[in-house]
Structure 1
C-alpha cells in the first residue's frame, strides 16, 4: 500500500477553506470540461482529469475536512496542477500546506510562485 499526500489551508493560521465541493467541481469543469467527478463516497468528491495528453490526475476533495488528497504516484505534478488551478480560482490568498500520511510534517506551498513553485519539492 502506498502513501498519500494531503493539501489543505494552513488551518493553524487561517482556518479551513470556505469554498464548497460544488465550487471545486465547477472550477475543475472550467479547466477540464471532460473531467470525471463523482460524489459516490459520502464525504468525498473524486476527481479524474486528463490535464495534458496522456497525463491523468486522480485526486479527492474531502468535504468535511476541506482537504485534497492523492496517492504518491507519478506524475505528482498531475494532481498538483488540478489543486493549483482550483485554489487560484477559489482561494488565491489563503496560505496552503501539504503533508504525507506517514509523517504529517506540514510544508508550506506557495500559489504566488506559479505552478512550478507550487509543485516544487514534490513534482
Structure 2
C-alpha cells in the first residue's frame, strides 16, 4: 500500500511490461476500491480507464528502466486519480472521435468520455493521469 494521508490513500504497483499486466492491474485496483467502499459501477469504470491507459502504454510506449509499467491510483473524497507511467517519450496525446468504424484508437476517447479530465506529462517517461468522479 502506498502512502496514507488525511483524506487520501494512494497505491502504486510496478507490473511486467506485458499484456497480462492489464488484467492484473484491473484485479488489484478492483480489490482495493471495493475495500475502500467504492460502489461497483465506479469500480467498473475505474477498471475500464486503467485498462485503456495501460493498453496505450503497452502499445505506444516503452518499458520503464526496470522493464515494468507503473500503475497508480489514489482514492480521494469524491474523486479517483488513476495514472499509468511508461518509459516512452511522446510529444502529444489526444482523444480521437469515437465512431463505429474505427478498429483502434478508442482508448483516450473512452477515458475522455468516462472521466472528468485527463492529462499527460513527460518526466522520466510518459505519465497519463485521469480523474474519475464518484460522488
TM-score by length of 2: 0.28
When Rg is computed on C-alpha atoms for both structures, the one with the higher figure is 2
